[in-house]
Amino acid sequence: MHIKFLQPNPAKQFGLLSVLANEAGKLVLKILDAEGKFLDTIVTTIDKGYQQIVVEIENWQSGQYIVNAFDGNRFVQAIRVTKP
């Protein structure tokens, strides 16, 4: 699995996470604030191929966040997100 980007960034209501998956599986997103405090986990099923996953951030406070992406239990990538 490859995470291409989350856009727009900064985002006010939601971001689109572009994912390219070699096979169907489970995408786990663990959301942390800028200080590393755990905030939320988002789990979604993905299909093989390219897709965009909606990440709703409307209820997040303004600030910097880190979205850690996992392919099941395997860490894939960390993405920085700004909520204005």
Q: Return the CATH class of domain 2-83.
A: mainly beta
Residues 75, 78: Cα–Cα separation, whole Å: 8
Residues 35, 51: Cα–Cα separation, whole Å: 30
Q: What is the pLDDT of residue 16?
A: 95
Please give the model's pTM, rounded to 2 decimal places: 0.90
Could you read off the pLDDT tens digit of each residue along the chain, which spans 84 residues?
A: 889 889 999 999 999 999 999 999 999 999 999 999 999 999 999 999 999 999 999 999 999 999 999 999 999 999 999 999
Q: What is the pLDDT of residue 2?
A: 87
DSSP string of 15-74? EEEEEEESS-EEEEEEEEETT--EEEEEEEEE-SEEEEEEEE-TTSPSEEEEEEEEETTE
Q: Domain extents for the chain?
A: 2-83
